[in-house]
Chains A and B, each alone.
Chain A
Amino acid sequence: MLRFRIQYNKDTPLQYVGNLDLHKVWERYLRRARVPVAYTQGFHPQPKIQQAAPLPLGFLSQNDLIDVWVEADQWSEKDFLTQLQATQQPGIEILSVATIPLNSPSLPTLILSSLYHVILLDPVNITELYTRLAELLDRSSITRTRRNKTYDLRPLIEKIELTPLPEGCAALEMQLSAREGATGRPEEVLSELGFDPYAARYVRTGFIMKE
């Protein structure tokens, strides 16, 4: 058996596809590409595929990662890449593949932080936004409630930068914690800054991972 780590972009229109459905998209994609995906043992064998980190509905993603276990003893990264890229899947662009030792830790446990590029769809007052951002980052705790649970957003925010865009718009670059049980959500940050979280376009641009 071999284990490959695939780096890919999730493009439009797959931002409207949730995690479970994306898993199915991958299964079918790999089947069409004639990749002999390994299956789990047991009464209900499932293809052995593992995504890096769940992505909220509506988000695009760049440099995303997925691990695939394959029933093969020898398969070069280059050949595997060629076979994937020869098969179409709207919304998925394969960037690179790497062979991973079978016993290396599972992909989700390696993720420390996620990077987001958030474009505000409505024009903003840039000066005011700078002030609001500075105030936000100045606070020692930001208590928020999500799904009836209260949590502190502040420690999950590692970095935020503001980029002015043409026509009075703006983008925010965020680095948010993505450890298990400590995942920062960019739409929560927007809400806290006083914006309608739906009036934004979200792209997760990458991960910061354990060495």
Chain B
Amino acid sequence: MERNILLQRLERILPTVEKPGRYVGGELNQVLKDWNSVKTHVALAFPDIYDIGVPNLGLTILYNLLNERSDVLAERVYLPWVDMEAAMRQQDIPLYALESKTPVRQFDILGISLPYETLYTNVLNLLDLAKIPLRSRDRTIHDPLVIAGGHAVFNPEPIAPFFDAFVIGEGEEIIHEIVNTYQEWKQNHSSRQDLLAELVKIEGIYIPSFYEPEYNEDGTIRSIHRLHPNAPPQVKKRLVAQLPKPPTRFIVPSISVVHNRVSIEIMRGCTRGCRFCHAGMVTRPVRERSVDEIVSAVREALDATGFEEVALLSLSSSDYTHILDLVSRVSSETSDHYLTISLPSLRIESFSVELMEKLRGSRQGGFTLAPEAATERMRNIINKPISTRQLLDTAREIYSRGWTTIKLYFMIGHPSETIEDVQAIADLCKAVLEEGRKVIGKRATLHAGVSTFVPKPHTPFQWVACDTLEQIEAKQSLLKRELRGPGLKLTWNNPHETLMEAWLSRGDRRLADVVETAWRLGAKFDAWQDQFNFEIWRQAFAAHQLDPAFYTHRQRSEDEIFPWDHIFSGVRKAYLLSEYHASLAEKTQNDCRQGCFACGILPKYADLRRNNPGSHWKCPEVPRRTVKIPLEQPA
């Protein structure tokens, strides 16, 4: 479609839709380049609406890196909300990128961010709105190269046929290699198949069409066949030895989005080893940025955006080596402004309260802690050992320093959890509120956020069954019964949504048909409570003679080949299994900054570390012999 026709049609439909500011681009710090001045055009898409997509840090990083190149332009793509989608389909407006309003199909590369699984039907909707064939095999030379990255693609199988390639791991370096390979290929005018054959040579690239799973009678995987001579037996994730300079020229949306702030990643990875945590396993090793680098990035970003909030992001802020120094420097740096500084994921200890005080942030938002479980047995199983005494002491400290609300995050459905463990969550919440009452009386409130555990691939719990609907409902109704009354607030997840996340998380390639059928039956925006439709998914499973319980409620045997075994996160399956065994024995594992437990990262990335020495990489030094772990046979 001609650009001016598209713009004319847009002008008429925009006044008729909710929040039209989502669809026009032109925000502060967007990068708009002359289309013909560059060799390669990349569309970076977040498969949900603008409000959710703009703050995504992963895409922000790639957007800035790509636009720094003079031979490349990168533009942003988000999904229209249902009202805008209807108007676009009615007016035959294809999905377009915000900067230049160019239809997505005209780009060379379409990169889609997939941080979580409930976006999968949105991916199909996005491709369809862009008029790009849904399946890789149906695309031609006139379609962009369609790739995806993000945490969810550590198990890419349920969406494998929809992508030409997946990026496993961190994107900062590999994105340039992909673009360079694409540019060389384009000069040679050869086939899409040739492009894939070139891309597969890049470490961290997974070409799904070069692999074919074979199944046993019982539906488990017999083996994964390689169909291309250059396809590696295992695709090893990419990581950067040292975090590059963080982005500071954030897009400043002119309308309110979910996070309106500067986000600076202070550290990547986590050494705590919580056994349920997907991010903690797949983002190893820990790499920290220096205090100087963070402070100057904060200053630069505030100057460039004018935002009123700064978030210092990591999986576990308290574990950042120089956290006190960082917090003091950042808060003095910003003392002239009416700014909020947020520091998520703090450990449950009184030091965290001191840190938050230093940030002098508004106490209105409440103080958040994540004990995840309420009994010592359960905390040993998930490897998040904190004592109840410590939690109550910290809670008292928080209430006495002026916060009136504490938010506690728990999960139900951990392996071997009993109803007594769930009762303990209610008891603990009441005990925490009681501490608050002692200090500030009836002003004290407690908000319990109780989500349901979903076993994730590449974690020690990848073998375990997810709770059934009946178990989840029984546990939730106990909590709803117990946690009511003045000062108490409880939030929980829809159990049906939990089950969907569960089957998509550990699904195999056969699920792709289910995902497509669900989308054809109308599933989209599955992460939105008001849009999610469980019945559609039930029908889609039935249409393909598959049983969701096979994916969700089945305890896997220890020798099972998983659909994601040919994707290597750097953490060995044997290590995950030993951690699973430790959880069965209710044994905890220390923070691995103190001593290496041989998860696999060090030997697998030994060269990378040797070539990038320095204290930013937080794995401890290990004696030579410990490093020589027998390398695992690839699946």
Binding site for B on A (CB under 8 A): 12-14, 16-18, 20-22, 24-25, 27-32, 39, 45, 47, 57-58, 88-91, 121, 198-199, 201
Of the candidates B15, B306, B338, which one forms a contact with A29 in the assembled complex, judged by CB atoms under 8 Å apart?
Answer: B306
Question: What are 9 residue pairs bridging A and B, where the CB atoms are less than 8 Å apart in the complex?
Answer: A13-B254, A16-B23, A18-B255, A24-B260, A28-B28, A31-B306, A90-B26, A198-B15, A199-B12
Query: Are B21 and A21 interface neighbours, CB within 8 A?
Result: yes
Q: Which residue of B lies closest to A197 (CB)?
A: B15
10 closest residue pairs by CB, A with B: A28-B306, A13-B26, A32-B306, A31-B306, A13-B24, A16-B21, A16-B20, A58-B15, A17-B254, A21-B255
Binding site for A on B (CB under 8 A): 11-12, 14-16, 20-21, 23-28, 30, 252, 254-256, 260, 302-308, 337-338
Across-interface contacts of A88 in B (CB, < 8 A): 28
Name 10 extra pairs, CB < 8 A, besides A21-B254, A21-B256.
A16-B24, A18-B21, A20-B256, A22-B254, A24-B256, A31-B337, A39-B338, A58-B14, A58-B20, A198-B16
The CA-CA distance from A88 to B305 in the complex, in Å, is 10
The CA-CA distance from A12 to B11 in the complex, in Å, is 11
Q: Which residue of A lies closest to B28 (CB)?
A: A90
Of the candidates A16, A20, A28, which one forms a contact with B308 in the assembled complex, judged by CB atoms under 8 Å apart?
Answer: A28
Of the candidates B14, B26, B337, which one forms a contact with A91 in the assembled complex, judged by CB atoms under 8 Å apart?
Answer: B26
Across-interface contacts of B304 in A (CB, < 8 A): 32
Across-interface contacts of A57 in B (CB, < 8 A): 15, 20
Query: Are B305 and A27 interface neighbours, CB within 8 A?
Result: no
Query: Are B27 and A28 interface neighbours, CB within 8 A?
Result: no
Shortest CB distance A88–B (Å): 7
Shortest CB distance A27–B (Å): 7
Across-interface contacts of A12 in B (CB, < 8 A): 24, 26
The CA-CA distance from A20 to B260 in the complex, in Å, is 14
Across-interface contacts of B15 in A (CB, < 8 A): 57-58, 198
The CA-CA distance from A32 to B448 in the complex, in Å, is 38
Best-surrounded residue of B27, B30, B254, B305 (most CB of chain A within 10 A)? B254
The CA-CA distance from A17 to B12 in the complex, in Å, is 16
Of the candidates A16, A31, A39, which one forms a contact with B14 in the assembled complex, judged by CB atoms under 8 Å apart?
Answer: A16
The CA-CA distance from A47 to B26 in the complex, in Å, is 25
The CA-CA distance from A32 to B126 in the complex, in Å, is 35
Query: Are A17 and B305 interface neighbours, CB within 8 A?
Result: no
Best-surrounded residue of A21, A31, A58 (most CB of chain B within 10 A)? A31
Of the candidates A91, A121, A199, which one forms a contact with B254 in the assembled complex, judged by CB atoms under 8 Å apart?
Answer: A91
Across-interface contacts of A30 in B (CB, < 8 A): 306
Shortest CB distance A81–B (Å): 19
Q: Which residue of B lies closest to A12 (CB)?
A: B26
The CA-CA distance from A16 to B30 in the complex, in Å, is 17
Q: Which residue of B lies closest to A58 (CB)?
A: B15
Q: Which residue of A lies closest to B339 (CB)?
A: A31
Q: Which residue of B lies closest to A89 (CB)?
A: B28
Across-interface contacts of A28 in B (CB, < 8 A): 28, 252, 305-308
Query: Are B11 and A201 interface neighbours, CB within 8 A?
Result: yes
Shortest CB distance A43–B (Å): 9
The CA-CA distance from A118 to B23 in the complex, in Å, is 23
Query: Are B12 and A121 interface neighbours, CB within 8 A?
Result: yes
The CA-CA distance from A29 to B27 in the complex, in Å, is 12
The CA-CA distance from A199 to B12 in the complex, in Å, is 6
Across-interface contacts of B305 in A (CB, < 8 A): 28, 32
The CA-CA distance from A21 to B260 in the complex, in Å, is 12
Shortest CB distance B368–A (Å): 21
